[in-house]
Chains A and B, each alone.
Chain A
Amino acid sequence: MTHKHVLSSAYKLIGIKSGVIVAAIIALALLPLYGSAHAINVGILVFSYLALGQMWNLLAGYSGLVSLGHQAFIGIGAYTLAVVTVSYGGGFFMSFLISIVIAVLFSLVISFPIFKLSGVYFTIGTWIVSESVLMFFRNWRFVNFDAGMNITRAFRIPQENLYLGALALGIVSVALVYFILRSKMGLSLMAMRDNPAAAEVRGVHLYKTKLICFLIASTFITITGVLLYMNIAFVMPGPAFGIDWAVSMVFIVVIGGIGTIEGPIIGAAIYVFLRQFLFNFPGMSLIILGSIAVIVILVAPKGIMGAIHGKFGFELFSVRRKMED
C-alpha cells in the first residue's frame, strides 16, 4: 500500500464519519416532527445528562480532577433560574446569562482553596464545598429556605423547545471536549495526566490548564442545571445540591468509558433509558441500578467504550492526530 493510498482512504473514512455524524444530528434535531411526546421527554433527559457526563469526563477523565462537588453548579443554575424568573420576573435568556456569570465567579473563588488539594483530597474537598453551598441555601431567606421555589414560568415551556435546547447543549458539550483535546491545551492535558512532573518540566502550566478546564466544566454544568430545572420546575436545596447528581455523572462516565469522548454518550443513553425502564419496578429500581453499576465495572473496568476500543480499536471521535496507519 502506498503512502498516498493510505492517506486517501483515511480521508474517505473521515468523510464517512462526519457524514454519519451530521446525518445523526439532523435526524435528532427533527425528532419533534416524528417522535412522540415521550420520545421528546426522554430526549431532553438524555442530552442534558450527556452534557453533565461529558463535562465530568473532561474533569475526571482528561484533567485528573475527580470531583464529587459539581452538583453545586447544578443547584446554582437551578436557583439562578428560580430567582431570576420568579423573584425578578426575568426571562430564560437572562437566567442563562446570569448563571454563567455566577458560575465563573464562584468557580474562580473556590478554585483557590480547592486547587491546593490533590487526589482524593480534591474529591472530598469539592464535596464539602458543595455541602457548604447546600447548607447556605437551606438557611437563606431570600430563596425561601429549605422550602423550595416553584419555577412557575417554566410550567408552559413547550417540550420541543426544551428538547432542542438540550440537544444543542449535548452536541456543544461533545464538540467542546473534542476541540479542547485537539488543541494545544489538549496535549498539555494528556501530558499532565500521564506524567504531571515531566509535563511541568516541559513547560506545561499545570495550574492554568486545570483551572481553564475547571471553569469550562463548571460553567457548562451550570447552564445544564438551568435547562434541567426548566424541565423540573420545582427546586429544593437538598435535591438541587444533592450527591445524586454526582452519582449520575460518575455512572454515566465510568460505565460509558472514562477518558473517551464516546463514553459519556453511551453512558448517558444507558443511564436515562435504564431509569425509564426501571420505573416498571417501583421500589426496586435503585437496587437494580446499583447492581448494574457494580456488575458492569467488574466485567469491563474501563467502561463499555474502553472495552470496545480494546477489542476493535474503534474510536468515533479520534483526538489523536493520526500519522500513518
Chain B
Amino acid sequence: MPRLAVEIFVIANLGFLALDVFIAHEVNAFERWPEWIPFYFSLAAPLLLVIGLFLRRAHTALSFLVGWCSLAVGIAGMVFHLQSHFFGEETLKSLVYTAPFIAPLAYAGLGLLLIMDRMTDSESIEWAQWVVFLALGGFAGNFVLSLADHAQNGFFNRAEWIPVVAAALGCAFLLVVVTRPDDRTLLRATVTVMVVEMIVGAAGFAYHLRGNLAQPSPRLWDRFLYGAPIFAPLLFANLALLALLGIWALTRSRSGAPAPSPVPA
C-alpha cells in the first residue's frame, strides 16, 4: 500500500510540475527551446506511470524509464539554470531573481524516489527510510528557498519567518527519524510536526494568494506570473505528505522486518 501511495504521489507531482514550470518559464517567455523540455516531460511522464500501473509487465521498466529521465531532466535543468548571473554577482538578489538552480532538483528528487521504489523492497525498513530521507531533502531545499526568498523581500511581514521555522523543524525531525526509525515517541512527534507543516503550507498558499490578488496589475494572470509564487508554500504540505507515507511505511515494516541499519545504504 505505501508503494502505491508513493507512486500516486510521484504521478501527481510530475503532473503538477507541468503547470508550475509553465508559469515559471512563461516569465522568461520560453526564450530558449530547452525550457519546453520539463513542460512536455511533465505531461508525458504521468501518463506513462499510469499506464505502468495497469500493465504489470511493463510497470518496472516504465518506472525506471521515467525515473532516470526525471533524474536527467532535473540535473540538466540545474546545469541550465547555473548559467544565471548569480555566480557572477553572488548576491542574494541575483540568487532569488535569476533562474533558481535548486528548483529543477524537484525532478531529480522524484526520479530518485521512483528508482529507489523499484530497486528496494517496499516492505523493508530501508525503503521507508529512503522515503523519509527524500522528504528530508525536500525540506532542506524548502529551508534555503523560504529563507532566501523572504530575506529578499526583507521579511516585510513577520509571518514570513513561519516557513523558515517550519522548514527547520521539518528538517530536524526527519533527520532524527532517518537515524532513529524505531523511536515511537519521535515518530508520533514527527507526525504532529508534519501536520503542522501541512497547515503552514495551506496558510502560505492563502497568504500568497491574498497578496497577489491585492496587486495593482491590470491583468489577473500577471499578478500570479510576477507576484508571490503561488504554489511554493504547497510544497510544505506536499513534502509532509511524503514524509507521512515514509513514517507509515516505517511503522508497517517494523513489525516483521529485520533490524534496521542506522543510516540508509
Please say whether chains A and B are actual partners in one complex: no
Q: Which residues of A contact B (CB under 8 A)?
A: none
Q: Which residues of B contact A (CB under 8 A)?
A: none
